[in-house]
Amino acid sequence: MSFPWAEEYKPKSAMMQWMDDRLPLPRLVYGAIGAGYPVPRNLNYFWNFGVLAGLALTIQIVTGIVLSMHYAANADIAFASVEHIMRDVNSGWMLRYMHMNGASFFFIVVYIHMFRGLYYGSYKAPREMVWLLGVVIFLLMMATGFMGYVLPWGQMSFWGAQVITGFFSAIPLVGEPIRELLLGGFAPDNAALNRFFSLHYLLPFVIAGVIILHIWALHIPGSNNPTGVEVKTESDTVPFHPYYTAKDGFGVGIFLIAFVVMTFFAPNFLGHPDNYIPANPLSTPAHIVPEWYYLPFYAILKSFTGNFLWIDAKLWGVIAMFASILILFFLPWLDNSPVRSAKYRPTYRMFFWILVADVLVLGYLGQAHVTSWVVLMSQICTMYYFAHFLIIVPIVSRIEKTLPMPNSITEAVLSGEADEARPIGVAPTNPAHPDPVKA
């Protein structure tokens, strides 16, 4: 698909030949994830996370479909129906815990996948569309995860729905009508629960569709790699199968071990005790917090406390929270450094790690008991978050002095890790690997 030396699919039997002439599905699979897709040979383990995200979505869809056979989307019995799954349905507890923890693992691998893209410049030309579709998937995941958390109809489900839909009421004039339209009432109730269930079932399939586009767009230029140097010759690549199917198989094993440890030995570690209390509109929990994967955004929401420019602080918070994700759509054009990989961008690399720390601290602050220190810290961290993408990255990409890059992926591989960035003509630090061009 992407490179002239990509292997062409050759049917091995008369039956497959017959199939290939009529519906070339094996050809499609061969070209997408088989030997027909050449991939840079130097990908590190961070390139496993795309496949892992796909696996996590599959786990969610399979467990979710079975759970929906036993779940009742009715405000009166939703909580009891989840407990029915936990107690009376055969292996229902396993499906439910897998689905609960599967959502967390989906977000963990997707966050790593996204930071991988940020570090190695995978969002840059010619892969902007891959990045944009990825941000769309992320937004869909957030909507799906939120609506799924509402379904057990516990205290956090109810009050989370109350708070999140409350964002819309911050919009001037039309906010309150929009909120009522979304909820189908004045507060979360049966109407809201039913539409959330319907959409929670629908959106994962939309995600699956956008993933197909994401992979399609990826296969036009081919995968990025840790050096960020474009593929030049056949020796820079290996066929996806068996090389990366084997490597992904190993990654899948590690992922599943972590998933099993959480699901079977600490299934409620990432949850909140209040969600084991049935929803009660008359009793507000002392401390409403969203699921852990929304915490950085929740901290951003809460950090705006002043009515700057006569815009209400609450509206500032809502705008900032949505903007914090929407600015990712502009990233390919905000960063116009010709060098992709942060390996050769020392200044960008430093700011990248500050961003990672910043987001982690925001996550901590999102669930912390609100004190003046927490508010001040989240204001500073939010400031850095926006400054990073909107001010620092554009400036750094203009003024940064980048390090010399290897001429090709093959050269980077053959000269070994330490010598990857060594320009031609400079003496190798490892004499066991002489200059590949001269040798």
Partner 1 sequence: MVRILAFFVGLGFVAALIFSIIVTPFASTEESVTEEFHKQPKTLALASDGPFGRYDKQQLQRGMQVYNEVCSACHSLNLVNFYSLEGLGYNEAQIKAYAASHEVPGLDPDTGEPTTRPGLPSDHFPAPYANEIAARSANNNALPPDLSLITKAREGGAPYVYSLLTGYTAVPADLPAENRPGTGLHYNPYFANLNLAMAPPLTSEGQVTYAPGNPKPTVDQMAKDVSAFLVWTAEPKLESRHAIGWAALAFLLIFTVLTYLSYRQIWAEKKGK
Asked if 247 is an active-site residue, the reply is yes
- Continuous segment of H or E residues that includes residue 40: strand 38-40
Region 202-241 residues binding partner 1, contact defined as CB under 8 A: 238
Asked if 180 is an active-site residue, the reply is no
Decide: is 242 part of the binding site for partner 1 (CB under 8 A): yes
Q: CA 113, CA 48: separation in Å to the nearest integer?
A: 8
Catalytic site residue from 200, 247, 302, 314: 247
Span of 16-24, 105-113, 358-366, 367-375 interacting with partner 1 by CB under 8 A:
367-375
Region 373-432 residues binding partner 1, contact defined as CB under 8 A: 373, 375-376, 379-380, 382-383, 386-387, 389-391, 394, 413-414, 416
Q: Residue 419: CB partners within 8 Å, gap ≥ 6?
A: 428, 429, 430, 433
Closest CA to 382 of 259, 297, 270: 297
Cβ pair 114, 293 in contact under 8 A = no
Asked if 291 is an active-site residue, the reply is yes
Task: Candidates 14, 173, 309, 427: give the one binding partner 1 (CB under 8 A).
Answer: 309
Number of residues that bind partner 1 (CB under 8 A): 67
Catalytic site residue from 99, 124, 219, 388: 219
Closest CB to partner 1 among residues 197, 304: 304
Task: Candidates 185, 333, 338, 346: give the one binding partner 1 (CB under 8 A).
Answer: 333
Question: In the 8-state DSSP scheme, what is residue 223?
Answer: -
Q: CA 200, CA 161: separation in Å to the nearest integer?
A: 14
Task: Candidates 203, 277, 403, 421: give the one binding partner 1 (CB under 8 A).
Answer: 277
Catalytic site residue from 113, 157, 241, 291: 291
Residue 121's SS3 state is coil
Span of 141-149, 163-171, 243-251, 348-356 interacting with partner 1 by CB under 8 A:
243-251
Q: CA 80, CA 82: separation in Å to the nearest integer?
A: 5
Q: Which amino acid would we find at residue 300? A: I
Q: Residue 177: CB partners within 8 Å, gap ≥ 6?
A: none
Cβ pair 229, 409 in contact under 8 A = yes
Q: 300 — phi, psi (to 5°)?
A: -60, -45
Q: Give the bridge partners for 28, in sequence order.
A: none
Known catalytic residues are 219, 223, 247-248, 291
Q: Which residues bind partner 1 (CB under 8 A)?
A: 41, 80, 83, 86-88, 93-94, 97, 238, 242-243, 246-247, 249-250, 252-254, 256-257, 260-261, 263-265, 267-268, 273-274, 276-277, 286, 303-306, 308-309, 311, 313, 316, 320, 323, 327, 330, 333-334, 336, 371-373, 375-376, 379-380, 382-383, 386-387, 389-391, 394, 413-414, 416
